[in-house]
A and B are shown apart, each in its own frame.
Chain A
């Protein structure tokens, strides 16, 4: 079954603007991860946030986690055309599998 659902499904912004993507999940987790997928390529890990963390930063990326609401958000600040990609959240529970959300397609226009 699908663990994560992402919102919005698609997002179009201008370069320099911020992009926010949200992820909701259903069961308790050990950690939540965000990945990027460029067209025709494999997924690349961006950031991992553990269940006892509330916020994490990596460069222009900021991830928040609210375990009470079972939700996470990914903020990309000062977006660039090169940020154009699909972004997926994925949750890790007590099993060895990572379950992916439905993805958000981000288009950044120069």
Chain B
């Protein structure tokens, strides 16, 4: 009964391709997030959705487009992948200002 599940766990792709990462939570939380963790383990928020509405959009290239079909799902689509996009992407969910529950991460490698 995984609380926050994201797929795939590993994603290896060529530069210029388009890829998606899916995330689902079964905790009934209103808020979902995408975080990016770089090779130095620095964790930075990318997006946040509250009940399907975008509420946080950090300085992220518009090649990254989140989509929330319902409050239990938040997917991340990335167009025209670049080498610098290689990182681990984490989905998370929470109630506002409460603790986050993280998925196990998607390690993206762009070749």
Partners in one complex: yes
Q: Which residues of A contact B (CB under 8 A)?
A: 2, 30-31, 33, 35, 37, 40-45, 48, 86, 88, 90, 92, 95-100, 102-103, 105
What residues of chain B have their CB less than 8 Å away from a CB belonging to chain A? Answer: 4, 31, 33, 35, 41-45, 48, 50, 55-56, 90, 92, 94, 96-105
CB neighbours (8 Å) of A99 from chain B are: 45
Say whether B45 contacts A97, CB under 8 Å. Answer: yes
Tell whether, in the assembled complex, residue B97 and residue A92 are in contact, meaning their CB atoms are under 8 Å apart.
yes
Asked if A42 contacts B42 (CB within 8 A), the reply is: no
Nearest B residue (CB) for A41: B104
Q: Does A48 contact B96, Cβ atoms closer than 8 Å? A: no
Ranked 10 nearest A-B pairs via Cβ: A42-B102, A45-B99, A100-B43, A43-B102, A42-B104, A92-B97, A97-B45, A97-B56, A103-B41, A42-B105
Known: A31-B97, A88-B43, A102-B42. A96 touches B48 (CB 8 A): yes
Contact check, A48 vs B102: say whether CB atoms are below 8 A apart. Answer: no
Residues of chain A with a CB closer than 8 A to B101's CB: 45
Contact B98 A48 (CB under 8 A): yes
Please determine whether A43 and B100 come into contact, CB atoms closer than 8 angstroms. yes
What residue of chain B has the Cβ atom nearest to residue A95's Cβ? Answer: B56
Across chains A and B, the number of contacting residue pairs, with CB separation under 8 Å, is 57
Residues of A contacting B: mostly: strand
Cross-chain contact B55 with A96 (CB below 8 angstroms): yes
Residue of A nearest to B4 (CB): A42
- Is B56 a contact partner of A96 (Cβ separation < 8 A)? yes
Asked if A45 contacts B41 (CB within 8 A), the reply is no
CA distance A48 to B101 in the complex (A): 13
Taken together as a complex, chains A and B put the C-alpha atoms of A40 and B102 apart, in Å, by: 13
How far apart are B56's CB and chain A's nearest CB, in angstroms?
5
Residues of B within 8 A of A96 (CB): 31, 48, 50, 55-56, 96-97
Pick from B33, B92, B97, B105: contact of A30, CB under 8 Å = B97
Q: How far is the CB of A48 from chain B (nearest CB, A)?
A: 6
List the B side residues contacting A30 at CB < 8 Å.
97
